[in-house]
Amino acid sequence: MPGTPAGFPMLRPRYFGIRARRAYLATKMASDATEATRIPDEAGWRTLRRFLPYLWPRHSLNLRIRLIVALLLVLAAKAITLLMPFAYKGVIDGMAPGMEPAAMLAVALVVAYAGARFGGVLFDNVRNGVFESVGQDAARRLSVDVFRHLHALSLRFHLERRTGALTRIVERGTKSIDSMLYFLVFNIGPTVLELGAVCIIFFVKFGWGLVAATLAMVAAYVSFTRRVTEWRLKVRKQWTEYDQRSTQRAVDSLLNYETIKYFNAEEMERRRYDEAIERLTRTTVKVETSLAALNIGQSLITNVMMAGAMGYTVWGWSRGQFTTGDVVLVNTLLIQLFRPLDMLGFVYREVRQGLIDMAAMFNLLDTPAEIQDVPGAADLAVTAGHVRFEGVRFGYEPGREILKGIDLDVPSGTTVAVVGPSGAGKSTLSRLLYRFYEPTTGRITIDGQDISGVKQSSLRAAIGIVPQDTVLFNDTIGYNIGYGREGASQAEIKAAAKGAAIHDFIASLPDGYDSTVGERGLKLSGGEKQRVAIARTLLKDPPILILDEATSALDSRTEAAIQETLSGVAARRTAIVIAHRLSTVVDADQIVVLDAGRVAERGTHAELLRRNGLYAEMWARQQNEREAEAEAEAAE
């Protein structure tokens, strides 16, 4: 069907025979590693009801019209499908012995029968085309809502969750929407409608007996299919686990080829791989035999019903109650009803999995944001850029406090360096200033405004940061620099690059600013990535700047060059420099030494050295390390 996700069948359920389905399911089993976890029926229906507003878009009259037209086409296709058996019955009755020759009428009915079959196919395909925009729009809006909400969640949430798992939830949920809507709207719904119409026809022409038998058959078919499908889901889950293990065993063994040779372990590896494959083979047999059991049981139920219904109409024909065409009518109606039922196990599994995937997306939407703007929050008004931390206490986890009453004053236009041992809480200050977290007690102000009472967007617009680990988008250098301010012109991007002393390097590249940087910027060196980060911050032009150990991962020569650039960037701004190497902050207006979450010392470089405390001890240790490195380089 149009718009089906990758790996999805390019056949409609009504044309899916048992052999075709068996081949497809075997292929899908091998490629689909998702788990069909059971969820309560109430939760499934609650998820479905929550999704329905996306299916009826209030913002678009065109899409609502498309949905109505698609449903009308469903009814038209089903009406034509139900009329086909009557045309077939008319042809047979016209050919019965003792009837007046009516060749033209028979031919007309044959043409009508063929036309009805074509009409059903025509309406089905037109319906797919009409409905596709509705389904895709619903999937788009839901995925965008989830994506927006993910960016609104706190840093704590993202640190505790795997990014791959989050993207997988969104991907699976989005893909499930299209398939689940198709089955619900165009398979289950029409099948229920057709069942009701068939029961009415049977009641009018053949009485309550055939209706009761049909309903009993459908109930037995649905119950059997559901039970066996649930059992098969457990078997498939086990198969997926063994398949992953065998693949992992093979890959791990091949990656350790040299180690295996070193220890003469080829035979051991063969045995372990054989054991993994043997488990997979046994489970594969279970999967195939369970599918065979499902097919046999379904076929038994439908054929018993078919035999009973045909026997009943033949018996009625023998008594003169029914015509020969009535026998064909019953046969054709039941065959058409059995076609969508033949896919019931597959449809049930897909709808169940779709509800699970959608429920996971809605669970993400229901996850509350830890950091939220207070009602009526105003924009931050930065006049001078005076930053203060007043009695700030904070811990990432209860019972493990990182900051223990920090008081820090950063006057406007000055540079304050924060140094200290690892784990002292230096980088935590920048996260609190950005409001990635809220202080447990105390407050942080900018120009006298408590940042917890202003809009987060305006707060972060006023702060720029050059982080220790610069992560770039897998795009061009120009895009990564321009990310600092949306809508920046090429001239402004180049000016920022010149300010970060990276323009000449970019100009030397074959593609210039259109050169791609690779995943996370891996095509650039550490110093080049840092300069891109500096250029991006220059383009943003914030009044408050944070330099979070921006040179700690660089070699001495690159560090000196980057440090000179950073000094120029920090000029005329309120700057907080978080540093590990003390040599990079000797010119700071004030140096604050943190130790175990408290301010141990503060003052200028000279004042702290004269005090002969923790700072002086750290300075002496780092000087000795630098001298040892210099001697080692000279010896080489």
> Is 411's pLDDT higher than 80?
yes
Specify whether 119 is located in the same domain as 222.
yes
> Is 25's pLDDT higher than 70?
no
Q: Which two tokens stand for residue 169?
A: 């939830």
For 585-599, how does the pLDDT look when each residue is reduced to its tens digit (9 = 90+)? 888 889 999 988 889
The CATH code of the domain that includes 163 is 1.20.1560.10
With respect to residue 101, please indicate whether it lies within any of the assigned structural domains: yes
Specify whether 204 is located in the same domain as 306.
yes
Q: Are 557 and 396 in contact (CB under 8 A)?
A: no
Q: How many domains does the chain fold into?
A: 2
Specify whether 214 is located in the same domain as 149.
yes
Global confidence as pTM: 0.64
Specify whether 329 is located in the same domain as 409.
no
With respect to residue 34, please indicate whether it lies within any of the assigned structural domains: no
End-to-end C-alpha distance for the chain, whole angstroms: 69
With respect to residue 290, please indicate whether it lies within any of the assigned structural domains: yes
Task: List the alpha helices (DSSP H) in 402-488.
Answer: 426-433, 456-461, 477-482
Specify whether 353 is located in the same domain as 423.
no
- Residue 443, pLDDT score: 92
With respect to residue 255, please indicate whether it lies within any of the assigned structural domains: yes
- Return the HEC string of 11-45: CCHHHCCHHHHHHHHHHHHHHCCCCCCCCCHHHHH
Q: What is the mean pLDDT of residues 140-164?
A: 77
- Residue 31, pLDDT score: 38
- Residue 322, pLDDT score: 80
Specify whether 351 is located in the same domain as 392.
no
Say how far apart CA 451 and CA 563 lie, in whole Å. 30
With respect to residue 7, please indicate whether it lies within any of the assigned structural domains: no
> Is 445's pLDDT higher than 90?
yes
- Residue 552, pLDDT score: 61
Q: Which two tokens stand for residue 193?
A: 């409608």
For 302-332, how does the pLDDT look when each residue is reduced to its tens digit (9 = 90+)? 888 888 888 888 888 888 888 888 888 888 8
- Residue 635, pLDDT score: 65
Q: Between residues 358 and 45, which one has the greater pLDDT? A: 358
Least confident of 127-141, 153-167, 416-430, 566-580: 153-167
473 Cβ neighbours under 8 A, 6+ residues apart: 479, 480, 483, 517
Specify whether 116 is located in the same domain as 246.
yes
With respect to residue 402, please indicate whether it lies within any of the assigned structural domains: yes
618 Cβ neighbours under 8 A, 6+ residues apart: 419, 421, 582, 593
User: Which phi and psi (to 5°) does residue 257 adopt?
Assistant: -55, -45
Say how far apart CA 517 and CA 511 lie, in whole Å. 11
- Residue 165, pLDDT score: 66
- Domain that residue 353 falls in: 39-366
> Is 543's pLDDT higher than 70?
yes
Specify whether 355 is located in the same domain as 391.
no
- Residue 43, pLDDT score: 54
Say how far apart CA 269 and CA 265 lie, in whole Å. 6
Q: What is the mean pLDDT of residues 125-154?
A: 80
Specify whether 399 is located in the same domain as 269.
no
For 186-222, how does the pLDDT look when each residue is reduced to its tens digit (9 = 90+)? 777 788 888 888 888 888 888 888 889 889 988 998 8
With respect to residue 351, please indicate whether it lies within any of the assigned structural domains: yes
User: Which phi and psi (to 5°) does residue 81 adopt?
Assistant: -60, -40
Q: Are 13 and 340 in contact (CB under 8 A)?
A: yes
> Is 446's pLDDT higher than 90?
yes
Nearest to 405 by CA among 636, 203, 619, 594: 594
Specify whether 348 is located in the same domain as 406.
no
436 Cβ neighbours under 8 A, 6+ residues apart: 154, 155, 156, 371
State the pLDDT confidence band at 555, using cuts at 50, 70 and 90: low
- Residue 553, pLDDT score: 55
Q: What is the mean pLDDT of residues 526-552?
A: 84
Report the percentage of the chain scoring pLDDT > 90: 11
> Is 460's pLDDT higher than 80?
yes
Specify whether 239 is located in the same domain as 319.
yes
> Is 36's pLDDT higher than 80?
no
With respect to residue 16, please indicate whether it lies within any of the assigned structural domains: no
Specify whether 393 is located in the same domain as 443.
yes
Q: Which two tokens stand for residue 527?
A: 């110093």
For 216-249, how does the pLDDT look when each residue is reduced to its tens digit (9 = 90+)? 988 998 888 888 888 887 887 788 788 878 888 8
> Is 16's pLDDT higher than 50?
no
